Structure formats: structure tokens, C-alpha cells
Structure 1
Amino acid sequence: MTTPIEKLSNLNGWRFSVAPMMDWTDRQCRAFHRTLSRRARLYTEMVTTGAVLHGDRERLLGFDASEHPVAVQLGGSDPGDLAAAARIAADFGYAEINLNVGCPSDRVQEGRFGACLMREPSLVGDCVAAMKAAVSVPVTVKCRLGVDEQDIEVALDAVAEAAVAAGVDGLVVHARKAWLKGLSPRENRDVPPLDYGRVARLKAARPELPIAVNGGIADIPAAKARLAEVDGVMMGRAAYTDPALLLAVDPELFGEPAPVADAFAAVEALEPVIAEGLARGLRLHAYTRHMLGLFNGRPGARAFRRHLATAGMAPDAGLGTLREAVARVSRERAPAQAA
């Protein structure tokens, strides 16, 4: 019988993933990140069950097979709706269905999902069970240590226990509490202190449960440090703002060559994808807004960003505009302050 860890490991990316991030990890971002790593697991932005059930599914869920391994993150708290949405997402070909139990935004709280579900572990279990019954792909949960005044020892154990009882295939833990009152979602990414030790204790108590840690992981050495304690790491803002670090994921974490030699080659590899998108009516900015940090640390990086922020915004901007921006960057490395 395949264990949960084997089931997720066989899908090629549980060891390292790029976090689902609202307004950032759309399909253009994922296409770009895939040029930098073959092995990293990529996630969609959170998609609510209501949007999946009643919205434009192709726009919300459509992706290219080249993005694999790619997972969808769902937001919701009604088990029936989550089961239906999970079934639709699985039919689109996603390799994993992830339930959001970590987002602290007011909109999410009003909908009784996201981080506020940390207070309702039995409901989390019901949601996981419903999705597990609906699909054959792995079902995972991304959660916090707890919310507000909860004891993180009790809160995290309760959610983990309910999810495991429901058959969850893995747990991603953002190693911070979320404060639902008094802090904005942005502040919730920094102000509550990180507690990697709490996640490590959960893993020690549940060795059979695949556990990945998220929050504050800034580079590949930091990822390696966390992998000494858990099964996977999920990197968020660092991977987005300094995407060239993804070039180290395959060689450093999987023992395989990077898909391209450097950041310049990554742009070249993305050009056919951008050309196809432009032909479908997308603007260049839909891609290049995710690439602004690609040349951090090289002379000309600021000029690259400036050109894309000006000429790259024009309705008729195309591959020539992108090449003009890249031409402003030196191929010689320099200290970060020279960017």
C-alpha cells in the first residue's frame, strides 16, 4: 500500500513548493517559475468554491500541462461545495487539491473559511473527508499554528488530528499564528513570531504524516535547514521577489540540473510562452510583472525594471520590449547594492 509520503513524493514536488499567493501566482507567473525549476511544486492563487461552481472555470482554473506539478488551492467551508469544486479541479488535471485554512483576510473571515477554520477542527475534518471522497488525487491542508489567543500546542494538534482522521494526504503549516483582529493580512505575514520548532514537534509526533513548513524561508540554505526537520518547504515572497533563487532548487534539493543555465536563458525559454499569450490577446505586462526581480544583484537590474514598468506597460509592447529590457542588464555578477 502506498503511504501518504510516497503518494506525494511520487508527484514530484512535495519537497519544495512555491506558495499560493493572491494576485501573484497566476498562470503567467507559474509559466515563468517553471522555466526556473522542473521540480518545484507550483500552486494557484486561492480560488473560492463559489467562484469555481459559478464562475468562468477556464479563466479560474485553466493551466498548461507544462506547469506540472501544479496544485490548486481552494477556499471554502461547506463540505459539499468543496467536494464539487475539488472534483471540477481534478477534472482539469491538477495534481493536488489544497484547502486554505490559513488566510486571515476580512473577506475570508466573512465567508467563514481560511484561518478562522483553525477554531473549527471538526469542520476541517468534514471538508477533507468530503474532498477525499470526491477525488483520487491527494488532498492537503495549509494551515496556521493557531489564531488569536489560541494555544498553538492545542490548536495545531486539533486541526492535524481532524485532518488525519479524515484521510488528509499532507499538511502545510505556516509557522505563525494569525491575528484575525487588529492586524491586516500584510501584517500577519510578519508580525506574529515564527515558530519552526512547533512544526518540528508536530512532525516528530506524527512521523507518518507528510508535513511541509511555510513562512519566512528566504533562500535555499534556509530551506535545507528546515528539511532536516520536516518533509517539505514552501517558499512564498522570497521566490516571487527574487525568482532567480529558484534556479538552485533542482540541483540543491533534488540533485538534478537546473532547466536553464541562468536568468538570461530563463527569459529566452519563456519567450515562446509569451508569444503564444500575446497572440491570445494578453499584454506583455501579464508576464513581465512577475519577472521584475529576476536580475537582482546585477548591474542594470534597475534599468531592466524601469523599462518594463514604462515601455512594458504599453498596449503594443511585445517580445522586442522585453529584449530591450534584458539588454540593459550586465551578464557579470555584482554585489546586490549595484542593482
Structure 2
Amino acid sequence: MRVDRFDFELPPECIALRPAVPRDSARLLAVTGDRLSDHSVTDLPGLLGPRDILVFNDTRVIPAQLTGTRGDARIGATLHKRVDLRRWQAFIRNAKRLRIGETVDFGSDVSAEAEARLDDGSFILRFLGDEPVELLLERAGTMPLPPYIASKRAIDARDADDYQTMFAREKGAVAAPTAALHFTEGLLASLAAAGIGSETLTLHVGAGTFLPVKVEETDDHRMHSEWGKIDAATADRLNAARQAGGRVIAVGTTSLRLLESATGPDGLIRPFEGDTDIFITPGYKFRAIDGLMTNFHLPKSTLFMLVSALMGLETMQAAYGHAIRKNYRFYSYGDSSLLLP
């Protein structure tokens, strides 16, 4: 399909620069088939049914944004994906000033050597010294807010909490699974009281989630890969929930992509550990999920293609048009949608 079919005009004032306070006070657009209705996230228990199960991503965002120098050149690095204990794949700003074998000084006694350059233009950085890389990042890194926020305001202390979900446990993401930012302990209690269950999996979201689609045809786009894990017990419980008549509702496109990667043609979710580069576009047959809660995505992005695959392109164009007219807040810190095909 042509990528420009997934384009739409978004007024800049629709982009949220801070999350709703409290988190579950954000607005929620329910799309059921082709019917639209306006709600708050606190209404979620009444929009789902008993035996439904929400699946959250428990990845934790690390301070993966680094700024340093190589000689007199200023170098920026956004970590994307761990390679091993000391090496990370990273997207580099001012990459023309960095050559293989050179070292970038990120300050606070943190430095890394550029070991290789990959076909997509990213680099492999090897962090020097013996301290765990996680400690180095805590010292020298900042929260990797998306470009559409970071270009409009400075990253500050509030973002260290605002950009983590309440489920964040497994360190390794460089972007938040933002649909889950709307959840609070009170909302989880209300969901449980309504008979709605929850499970967690882990997908370490990479910086590639923000890369623009630069090709004209979706078939020509090369999807980034991310590491994820679903254990056997979680897979068994999710399969049992569906067999008992419940629906599996992914909270966020990251949870959805991992669930679909772990599910066979028979519709059974299996244990999974490894990389996935699944790219979901219209025509895809969903196997694992029965619905999706997700924020509003960028024009011509792989994530808008994913929601269009789930609900239909015309339905999502209508839903986004409605959201813009009704002043919903878009993107990572914005409002949410509940998509039930």
C-alpha cells in the first residue's frame, strides 16, 4: 500500500507536552466497529466485560539520551537496542563527525567507542570501563523523550516519573509503552472489581519506534527489531482466558506486536524470548488479540498502519478526524483510544 494513504493533518496544538493529572483522567475514544463514543479512561471498567484480560508491557525506560564530544565535535546518541553487556546499538546525531574506532566523551566519566556502523546508519557503541552500563547511564543520560516533545520544551525532573508506567520493572526500553501511562492503582482496583484481569509481558521498546517511514510503499519499509519475552505461565493463562470466553486486550502496540509474534496460526500464544520485527499493515490477520488500547499516533507511522490494520483505514481516519475536532491530545503524553473490532 502507498504510505501516503496513512497521512493526515494534525494541528500542532493537539500534541500533548505533559500527561494528564491524575493519569486516569485522560480522555478515551472508544471505537467499536465503526461506532465512536467519547469517554474518560476511568470509564474503562464499564467498556470491557468480565473475563476480559488486559496485557501490559512491564519494560522500564532507561536514561538513554546522551550528549557528548569527540574532539571539538558535539555528538548526540540515542540508544536503541542492547547488543550485549557493554554494547548498544545507537542512533547518532552529527554522525558525519564520528568515525569507527573513535571515542565519544559523554561527561561524568562516561565514554564509549564507535565500534561499527550498520546498514541503517546506526552505530554500535561499546561503553568503556568496568561499571555496569546501567550505572553509567544513570550518571550521564537523560530520559529519551520523543522528538515531538523534546523539540518543544526541555526535559526536566518531572519526566523521570511521568515517562514511566506503573508497571515498569524490567530495565531496557528507550521509549515508554505509553498506553499504560494512563493506569493508576485505583483504576486497576476498579477493573479487578469488574472481573477484568491483567497480565504482563516484556518488550524493550527501541528508538526505532520514532523513525519516519521514508519509502513510498509499505512493502519497502524495513521494520526495526526489539527484544521481548512472554513466559510459559503467562501464555497459558492468556490462552485459558480466551478459551473461557474472555477477550485479550493489548494495552499498547508494543504488547500487541509481541503477542502477535508469539502466536501461531492455530491462535495459541506460546512462550517467546528474542527479537521481533513484525510489521503489521492492512490485510494482516490478527491471531492473539481481540482489542487494543492505544494512544493517538503520528501520520504515516507504522503504528497508525497497525491500528488501521485492526479497525480498517477508513474507520481510523474517521476516528482521528473526530479526535482532532473534539480536541483530544495526541501522542505519547496524550489521550487514549479503545479499539474493539
Greater strand share, 1 or 2? 2
Greater helix share, 1 or 2? 1
- Higher RCO (CA-CA < 8 Å; seq separation 6+): 2
Q: TM-score, normalised by structure 1?
A: 0.29
Q: TM-score, normalised by structure 2?
A: 0.29
